[in-house]
Structure 1
């Protein structure tokens, strides 16, 4: 079939809206009509090269839609099902999945390079095979994915909001609840209040944090943080240091979650100053792949028994947590509406990312016509 998609042909160039030939789903694969896709900073990492993906590529990995057809052997979903994509596929059976770490699925890792499990492509344009970001390619009116990427959801939930739990919301919420293990009474600092940081804030609040310090240079995002439950805001780590020191009587924050657009090793030492004795820094944001140097006082790390923990997909189990988070949304405990600043048609994908980088959006969402 023929569909429309946003294709990235070369690094540091705009996405191009193209007619794309889409093959039928093969063994274990699913054809999905896309309804909505969140616009995550990780998609821009593909543009800049901070993530070394293969090109040309249909980007987008935070998507929701309706199943139109399934290939042989598919058992997880059927035509007509509403689905959210887990941006890391979860087979449910490998050692990682079976021990409760679906976000690190051993078998699903085979789709992360952008081709299907058999090493071929289903998307083609201008006579070339196209890769798809983490095997999804949600910046498209239709896509073919592996069933391991599909999580069926209640069809009453609007897909324009459900798409957000495919990456950003689950990543942020899980970074607070699972990776940071926020407990009632904790003081928590969250650095960067985009879609992931805003979700970490909501997770920390739901987990019972006493004080939540939201740090972002953009006033719009600081205002949104206060609306979502932040007790204090600051424009920078330096500004936050004095504020946290004053409000916690020098104890600092037991949990700090880094959710900036692009991490920098040069900032880690300053970030660790916000962490209390026996406190934990959760690094959720992506750092450039080539970056290998970090500024950090190892003496402070040892003598104060601080921790640094990495987290991908919020250390969550998408087959369980995606429906769970959507139930919290329906029940009014997770405000997905608040973090969507603007929506765009697919043709305006480049404007949406320009707005993201200028700080005009907490989260932008592409809706397919």
Structure 2
């Protein structure tokens, strides 16, 4: 089958190969024919070494498709079912799951060090990003990673629900629990940031300021519910106009860098909430002094995969989409076949795409 492979960490191009096979099928496993996958910035971060990932590997973790085959003991799905790929499945039995914090379950990471694919020319191993690897025609995953979706949900929409939309909406709805009438700033307005904006709008935020250096992303943020959109250098002025200089009730950092997290902290009001949504590097440290932590009483809330039960979040997102309360189709600004994956990567790097759908 075909798959897009990164041979070494640090390379900026993928090679689309046709001699790759998905491996690992057996009891408790599911083979999926991938139909659509989103290109998420986390894929770029893994390619560049910001996020830990062994190579060679097939990027992609935001996918949807059809079940081809199920292993012994799999009962939740059967061949022909439409599914979304969940890269962080909950085991249901670990301490985090028993506490109701299924987004913190580490079971899904247990397979991240096991190859998901193999080259047919000599049998060299190839890993899948986050234990999945959806930039491929087929993928084999644990049964918990194959989440059934209703027939009326298109594959491209389902793929977005698999990561970016769930992460962004959940940050506003679950982690921050934005109050009606509150002021919000969102730093970083790609696909996840725009989903944060939609979540804040759903919760009734009075002011939503989108902050991004790319003009097209600022324009998109306004379409999705931001009340104003500014480049980073104009954030101080927006803070003054919207909050009288006090700072925003909620600031979302959706970039994954200490510099923007520090900016987010400084633009959060005393007693307000900074929500860290972006996935950053392990050697990038956010500096805060002990006095400001004590004196300002600002809450710093990381948001992992939307900070809530993943399966419930999927269901909620589908319900909101069906009711017309959120726009998911509008997030997909580019559609390309797998053969054009490198052009899509360039669009993501330049910020010209909110979400690119790779049609497989």
- Shorter chain as denominator, the TM-score bin is over 0.9
Counterpart in the other structure of 1:266: 259
Distance 1:170 1:188 in 2: 19
Contact map agreement 1:22 1:124 (CA 8 A) in 2: no
Q: CA deviation at 1:24?
A: 6.4
Shift of 1:239: 1.4
Q: How many residues align?
A: 357
- Show the counterpart of 1:279: 272
Change (3 A) 1:268 1:160: closer
Match status 1:252 vs 2:247? yes
Superposition pairs for residues 132-281 of structure 1, below 5 Å?
132-236=128-232, 238-260=233-255, 263-281=256-274
* 2:355 corresponding residue in structure 1: 363
Residue 60 of structure 1 is matched in structure 2 by 60
2:191 touches 2:355 (CA, 8 Å); kept in 1? yes
Please identify, of 294-303 and 24-33, the stretch whose mean Cα deviation from structure 2 is larger: 294-303
SS in 1 for 2:195: helix
CA distance in 2, matches of 1:182, 1:271: 16
Asked if 1:352 is matched to 2:344, the reply is yes
Aligned counterparts of 2:296 and 2:15: Cα–Cα separation in 1:
51
Deviations 1:139-188 (A, max 9, x none): 01111011111211101110111100111100011111111121111111
- Aligned mates of 1:328, 1:77 — CA distance in 2: 24
Following the alignment from structure 2 to structure 1, what is the Cα–Cα distance between the partners of residues 259 and 197? 24
Q: 1:311 — aligned with what?
A: 303
Q: How far off is 1:114 after superposition? A: 4.1
Shift of 1:108: 2.5
Matches of 1:270 and 1:32, distance apart in 2: 42
Alignment CA distance shift 1:290-1:269 (3 Å): closer
The whole-number CA distance in structure 1 between the counterparts of 2:354 and 2:116 is 33
SS of residue matched to 1:280: strand
Alpha-carbon distance in structure 2 between the residues aligned to 1:63 and 1:73:
23
Deviation at 1:270, TM superposition (A): 2.6
Q: Within 5 A, what are the aligned runs for 1:108-147? A: 108-111=108-111, 113-115=112-114, 121-126=116-121, 127-147=123-143
Gaps of 5+ in 1: none
Q: 1:197 to 1:267 in 2, by over 3 A?
A: closer
TM-score by length of 2: 0.95
State the secondary structure of the residue aligned to 2:306: helix
Residue 315 of structure 1: SS of its match in structure 2? coil
Runs of at least 5 residues in structure 2 that lack an aligned partner in the other structure: none
Q: Secondary structure at the match of 2:326?
A: coil
1:82 aligns with 2:82: yes
Residue 313 of structure 1 aligns to a residue whose secondary structure is coil
Q: Deviations over 1:107-164 (max 9, x none)?
A: 23312x242xxxx645434320111111111001111011111211101110111100
Could you say which residue in structure 2 is the equivalent of 1:288? Answer: 281
Mapped partners of 2:47, 2:106: distance in 1: 26
**In the alignment, is residue 322 of structure 1 matched against residue 314 of structure 2?**
yes
TM-score normalised per structure 1:
0.93
SS of the residue 2:140 aligns to = strand
Q: What residue in structure 1 maps to residue 9 of structure 2?
A: 11
Q: State the Cα distance separating 1:205 from its structure 2 match.
A: 0.5
Alpha-carbon distance between aligned partners in 1 of 2:227 and 2:48, rounded to the nearest angstrom? 35
Structural RMSD (CA) = 1.5
User: What SS does the aligned partner of 1:230 have?
Assistant: coil
Dislocated runs of 4+, deviation >6 Å: none
CA distance in 2, matches of 1:170, 1:268: 21
Match of residue 291 from structure 2 = 299
Structure 1 residue 297 displacement after superposition: 4.2
CA contact (8 A) 1:254 1:279 kept: yes
